[in-house]
Structure 1
Amino acid sequence: MIKLGAKKSRTSQQLSPVSLHDPGPESSSVIASAVKVASSEDLLIQILLHVPIKKLLSFKSVSKHWYSLITNPRFVRLHNPLPSASALFFIRSSCRSTPDYQFIPLDVSDDCPTPFKSLDFVHDPLRSGISVLQSCNGLLLCASYRARILNRRYYVYNPTTKHFATLLQIKQEHSKISPYYKVVCVRQSKTSDNPFQIEIYSYETRLWRVSGQPFKAPQFTKFENCIYWNGCVHWWNGFVSLWNDEQYTLYFKVEEERVEQLPMTRKNIQAVVMPDQDLPEQVATYLGESQGHWHLIDVYSDSTCLFNVYEMARDYSGWFVKYHVDLSAISTIYTDTITNGSYDYRFNILSLVRRGQEEEEDGSFLVLEIPGGKIVRYNFADKSVVKLCEFDPIVHRYYYNNDLKYISTFSYMESFASV
C-alpha cells in the first residue's frame, strides 16, 4: 500500500490512498472499460476517427495493431472523407537549383504553415532538384526539376508524415494522384489514329500497367491541368467555349478505367448574362474542386465585378449556379483593384474553398490575388473581405502590365495516407 503523505494537508485531504495491488471499484471499472474498448476494433475506430492527425501519427507507435489500424486505407478515407485545404502554396522563386515555396494560410487566425520551403526529402540522382507537379488530398506528385522529360524521376510525397515513394520511370508528366494512391499518366501512343494512352501506377503493386485502349482528345486539351472529382480525373480543353454545342472535355473513371466525354454546351450551364452584354466566347477563368464539389467560374468581362460560381451536378447532368459574386466590396477597401480612369477590375482567382455542410456553408470563400502583391479571401455569405497575406518584394517584384503575377497555387492539407 502506498499512501500520499502521513500528515493531513490540503492535498492529502483531497486525495485517496492509491493501491498498486488492490484497485478500488472505480479503478476496476475504468480498467475494464479500457480493456473493452481496446478489444473492440469497431469501438476503437470510432474513437480514433475523432483524433486529430498529428495525434494519430504518435498513436501509430502504441502497438502493431494500432499501427495497422491507423494506416489502413479504409480508415484514412473514413477519417477525412471530404478534406478541405488549410493552406495554398506556390513557387516563390524558381531561380535556384531547387524551387522554394511560400504558403498562404486560409484561416486568418492561423500562423502561416510551412511544412516545407523546398523539397529535400530525397537526393535526386539527376541533381536537378525536386518540384511539385500536382497535389491531391494531402499527397504531392513531385518530379525532378530542370530535367528533360524522358529522364525525370517521379515521387509521391506526404509532407505531413515526411514519407515518400519513388515511382518507376514514366514517359510523360501529365499525371494525377487519386486518394486511393493511384497515379494516372497520359502518354503518347504509337497508334497514330488514337494518339493517347493511359497507364496506371498502383500503391499495391508498385508497378505501371497499361489501362484501356488508345484514345483521341479534343485539340488543346491540357492533360497537365487536371482535377480529381467524383472518382474521376477530369482534363480540360484550354480553348473550349462554354457556349459552343460541339465542344466537350474528357474525364477518366479511375475504378472502371474508362475514358468518357463531358459535353460543354449551353444546355449544360445556366447562363446569367449581365444587362447589355452579349453571349461571350471565352474560356473558363477557374476550375477547381473542394470538399467533393467541382466548381467553374467564367468572368465574362474585365469591366465587371459581378459573376457566378457554377457547380457540376453529381450525375453530370449539367452546371448550376451555386453562388452569386459581387466584388465591389474589394474595390472599396483596395482602390488599386480598379484601373485608374476606368472600371476594369484586376484580380486573379486562386481557389474556391468550401467549408461546412450543405446547410451550414457560411464559411465558404474565394481566394483572390489583387494588385500590390495581396492575397484576400471573399466570403460568399456576407461578402466580407479579409487580407490573408501580402507578398514580400522579392515575390512580386516582376509584374505583368496589370500589376498581377497570376500565380498558380497548389492546395495543402494534412494527411496520414501511406505512400
Structure 2
Amino acid sequence: MLYPVSSATYAIAGNQDLLTEILLRIPAKPLLNFKFVSKQWLSLISSSQFRLSHSRRHRDNASLTAAALLFHCDTSHNPSGGFHIIPFKSHCSRLSFFDYLKHPAVKIMQSCNGLLLCRSYDKYLCLKYFVCNPITKKFRIVSFPQVEGFVYAVNLAFDPLKSVDYKIISIRRLIWVAPRFHIDIYSSETDSWSVKALSFTNVWLKNGVFCNGAIHWESEGKSSLYLDMENMCLKVMPMPVRMLDAPEGSYSESNRFLGESWGHLHLAVTYKPLALQFNIFEMAVDYSGWFLKYRVNLETVMNGFPEMNSYPREEGGNQISAACVIRSNKDEVSKVVVFVNGKAISYDLNDGTFTSLCDLDPCPKTYGSPSNDEVLDVYQYFETLSCV
C-alpha cells in the first residue's frame, strides 16, 4: 500500500539548508546508511564540509561519547583482529574494526577524537603506521622520513573543533648523541614532515594522550613531559608522589593508567596488595599538580558478582587489570570501566552503582594485574565522520 507524500516532506527535501540542519543532528553510524536514500543525500553527507560540521557539532555539544572500548587481548581467534570490544552501544559488539585494512597484526597506538593511530607489518615484515576512521573505513598510510636515530614515541594530535587536519608526532633519539632528540611532525594538510630539534633529559615517554591541544606522557618519575602543539614546545608536568595517598595497608603501586575524558586528564593508580582498591587523580587546569578525585573500593562489586570468583586468576586473589575513566561533560558525573577476573564492569563514581558490560576473551591481560612494566592497551572508540 502506497502512502501519499506530504507537502512538508517535499519542502524539506527541496530545502538544502533545512535538510542539512536535520542530518547534522543524526549520529554518525545511522547517517552512513542515509547516503543510500538519494543522490542528493549521498552528495551532501559525503561532502568534506558536512563531515567537518558534523564532527564539530557532535564534539562540541557533548554528544560524542565513547561507543566502546578496544584493547589488544592476544587471542588469535578474535574476529576483531586481536582486539576485544567492550561495547557501550549494542551494535558495537558486532563490528570488525580492521577487516578492511588487509594488514595483519594491527596494533592501536592511540585513540584521538574518533581517529585511531595504528601500526602493522606488511608481508615483508616492514613496519607501517597509519591513521584510520573505523566508522567510515577510511585510512591513510604514513611514510616516515629516512633519517638518523630510532623512533622513541609516536602520537596523534587531532581536534576537530580547531581544524579538519591532524598531526602525527614522532620523537626519535639520535644515535651517539645523548640526551638529544628530534621531533618529526607530520601534517595531513600538507602530507609532509617537518623537523624540530629539542634537548631534554632521558625520560620514558609512555601512554601518549592528547588533551587540550597537547600530548601528555606518563612517567614513573616525579615529573613527565607534555608537548604544547600550538607553541611546539615541551613543558614539564608533575606526576603524583608515589604512595602519598595510597590506601591503608598497601605497600607499593601496581600500575598506572593515564587517560583523557572531556578535556580532563585522569590517572588511575592501583596498589599492592589491595587489588580491589585504587585512586583516581585529576590534573589541575593550570598543571600545578594532580589532586585526588576519587577513592574506589570494589569489594562491594565483587559481592555483587560472585560468579567472578570462579574465573582462573593469578595467585594473590582478585585483580584489577584496567581502569578507564569516562567523564560526562554536562554534570561531571564519571564512570570507570574496570576489568576484574575476566569481566568488564562499569562503576558509577557518583552513586556507587555498577553494571556488567561483557565477559572478556581469556588472555593474560584480562586476568590479574599486568606487571609493572607492561602497558595495558585500552582505547576509547568514538563514532565520527572525521576525514583521514
Q: Could you say whether these structures have the same fold, taking a TM-score greater than 0.5 normalized by the shorter chain as the test?
A: yes
| CA distance, structure 2, for counterparts of residue 270 and residue 44 of structure 1 | 56
Aligned 1:158-169 pairs, distance under 5 A: 158-169=133-144
Over 3 Å counting, the alpha-carbon distance change for 1:215 and 1:57 in structure 2 is farther
Runs of 5+ consecutive residues of structure 2 not aligned to the other structure: 160-165
Residue 176 of structure 1 aligns with an amino acid whose one-letter code is N
In structure 1, the residue matched to 2:335 is 365
Task: Give the direction of change, closer, same or farther, for the CA distance of 1:403–1:132 in structure 2 (3 Å limit).
Answer: closer
Alignment of 1:18-417 (within 5 A): 27=7, 38=16, 46-58=21-33, 62=41, 64=43, 67-68=46-47, 70-71=49-50, 73=52, 75-81=54-60, 83-93=64-74, 95=76, 99-106=81-88, 110=90, 112-116=92-96, 119-123=98-102, 129-145=105-121, 151-170=126-145, 172=151, 174-180=153-159, 181-189=166-174, 192-210=177-195, 212-219=196-203, 221-223=204-206, 225-237=207-219, 239-240=220-221, 247-264=222-239, 272=245, 274=247, 282=253, 285-303=256-274, 305-335=276-306, 345-358=318-331, 361=333, 364-371=334-341, 373-392=342-361, 395-396=362-363, 403=368, 408-417=377-386
Give the total of aligned pairs: 364
The change in CA–CA distance for 1:148 and 1:366 in structure 2 (over 3 A counts) is: farther
Q: Displacement of 1:198 after TM fit?
A: 0.9
**CA distance 1:68–1:195, change in 2 (3 Å):** same
**SS of the residue 1:135 aligns to:** strand
Deviation at 1:274, TM superposition (A): 4.5
Shift in Å at residue 205 of structure 1?
0.6
CA contact (8 A) 2:73 2:365 kept: no
Higher-Rg member (1/2): 1
Q: Return the alpha-carbon distance in structure 2 between the equivalents of residues 172 and 74 of structure 1.
A: 35
Preserved CA contact (<8 Å) 1:233 1:252: yes
Deviation at 1:251, TM superposition (A): 0.5
- Secondary structure class of the residue paired with 1:113: helix
Post-superposition Cα deviations, 1:174-195, rounded to whole Å, max 9, x if no partner, equal 2122224211111123571442
Kept after mapping to 2: 8 A contact 1:99/1:131: no
Q: Secondary structure at the match of 1:172?
A: strand
Question: 2:58 & 2:133 partners in 1: Cα distance?
Answer: 16
CA offset at residue 147 of structure 1?
8.2
Q: Per-residue deviation at 1:228?
A: 0.8
In the TM superposition, residue 146 of structure 1 has moved relative to its aligned partner by: 8.0
Read off the aligned partner of 2:65 and give its amino acid letter: S
- Indicate conservation of the 8 Å contact 1:141/1:177, yes or no: yes
Task: Measure how far apart 1:300 and its partner are.
Answer: 4.1
Matched AA of 1:172: V
Q: CA deviation at 1:272?
A: 4.0
RMSD, aligned CA = 4.0
Q: Conserved in 1, the CA contact under 8 Å of 2:280 and 2:295? A: yes
In the TM superposition, what whole-angstrom CA distance separates every residue of 1:106-141 from its partner, at most 9, and x where no partner exists?
35xx25523316x343445xxx55332222222122
Kindly indicate whether the alpha-carbon contact (under 8 Å) linking 1:134 and 1:410 is maintained by their aligned counterparts in 2.
yes
Give the gaps of 5 or more residues in structure 1: 5-10, 19-25, 241-246
Bigger relative contact order (CA 8 A; separation at least 6): 2
Q: Does the C-alpha gap of structure 1 residues 403 and 305 become closer, same or farther in structure 2, counting only changes over 3 Å?
A: closer
Percentage of pairs with the same residue: 29
Q: CA deviation at 1:31?
A: 6.2
